[in-house]
């Protein structure tokens, strides 16, 4: 299921997701990843799906959503891995542009040092760059990148892309507990002042992470990060991404298919699932059936219950 949603996004309003990378091919193995553990660590770009298939699936989903009166603010590449690993990304973006809906992409920035990746990203209206650290040891501890990647090259690639890109550029920094950040926030602020994003988001894990020890950073750490970034960028440029995005998940047709496609990349809280089922005219029996068939799993995080598609990346090692 390549297209899913629309789903509520704290950055993008109502976003129709595009899952152009299968579970879970990535260049990082982030400790906090909501998809789970990286199954294939890769940095070489290659094809995954035919661009025409992605266009057809997204077009169909857009029609279904509009038929139900759903608003779509962005078509967003937010897959089960790193979207820029897809060598056909630029072709897919060009095809999707014809639908007349703004295009967004959430990337971990790992391949932005490559000229072809930067060229593909220029097709987008909004690019979100992940930047969890600007010092190598912290970056390696939190994001656990492919061993051949260089943080310095990535940071240089970000700055080079900034000089070329005319769309909306935002960044996201995930803060987790148990990390000694030292003077990292000041160093991060200095880099962001050079990058000049429209917004620099400070986030904490709000869904079940890949590693069970991962918890959100405490309020003092979050505040310290905010103050450091706000001092260099201006408070209006820094925003928290630590709240719940809401339960406005769209029902576009088949309740089981919708649930499985959304929860493949976006674990849903129990209250969100209940509201989704109510809007779809379905009851909890659907969840019981999917649990019984082993197609979804139940997860606990932060005192709440979540439901997620039973992906290989979520299986116990």
Q: Any residues with CB less than 8 A from the CB of 241 and at least 6 apart, and which?
A: 10, 11, 172, 201, 202, 203, 204
Q: What is the pLDDT of residues 40-95, one digit of tens each?
A: 999 999 999 999 999 999 999 999 989 989 899 999 999 889 999 999 999 999 99
**For range 131-136, the mean pLDDT:** 97
Which of 148-162, 172-186, 218-232 is least confident?
A: 218-232
What topology does CATH give the domain 3-241?
A: TIM Barrel (3.20.20)
Round to whole Å and give the CA distance between 16 and 4.
Answer: 6
**What phi and psi values does residue 31 have, to the nearest 5 degrees?**
-65, -25
- Kindly state the greatest CA–CA separation across the chain: 53
Q: Look at residue 312 and tell me whether its pLDDT is greater than 70.
A: no
């Amino acid at each position: 299921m390549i297209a899913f949603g629309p789903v509520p996004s704290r950055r993008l309003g109502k976003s129709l997701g595009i899952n152009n990378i299968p579970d879970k091919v990535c260049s990082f193995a982030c400790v906090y990843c909501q998809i789970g553990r990286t199954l294939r660590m890769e940095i070489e770009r290659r094809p995954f799906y035919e661009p025409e298939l992605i266009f057809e699936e997204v077009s169909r989903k857009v029609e279904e959503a509009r038929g139900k009166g759903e608003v779509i603010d962005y078509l967003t590449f937010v897959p089960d891995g790193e979207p820029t690993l897809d060598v056909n990304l630029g072709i897919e973006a060009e095809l999707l542009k014809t639908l007349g809906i703004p295009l967004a992409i959430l990337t971990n920035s790992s391949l932005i040092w490559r000229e072809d990746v930067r060229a593909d990203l220029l097709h987008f209206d909004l690019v979100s760059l992940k930047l969890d650290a600007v010092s190598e040891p912290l970056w390696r501890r939190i994001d656990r990148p492919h061993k051949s990647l260089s943080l310095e090259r990535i940071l240089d690639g970000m700055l080079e892309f900034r000089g070329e890109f005319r769309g909306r550029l935002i960044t996201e920094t995930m803060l987790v507990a148990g990390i000694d950040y030292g003077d990292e926030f000041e160093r991060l602020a200095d880099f962001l002042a050079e990058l000049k994003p429209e917004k620099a988001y400070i986030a904490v894990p709000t869904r079940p992470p890949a590693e069970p020890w991962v918890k959100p950073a405490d309020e003092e750490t979050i505040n310290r990060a905010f103050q450091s970034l706000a001092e260099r960028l201006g408070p209006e440029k820094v925003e928290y991404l630590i709240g719940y995005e809401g339960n406005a998940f769209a029902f576009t047709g088949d309740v089981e298919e919708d649930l499985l496609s959304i929860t493949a990349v976006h674990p849903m809280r129990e209250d969100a699932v209940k509201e989704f089922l109510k809007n779809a005219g379905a009851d909890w029996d659907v969840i019981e059936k999917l649990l019984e068939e082993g197609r979804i799993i139940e997860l606990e995080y932060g005192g709440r219950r979540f439901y997620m598609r039973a992906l290989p990346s979520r299986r116990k090692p």
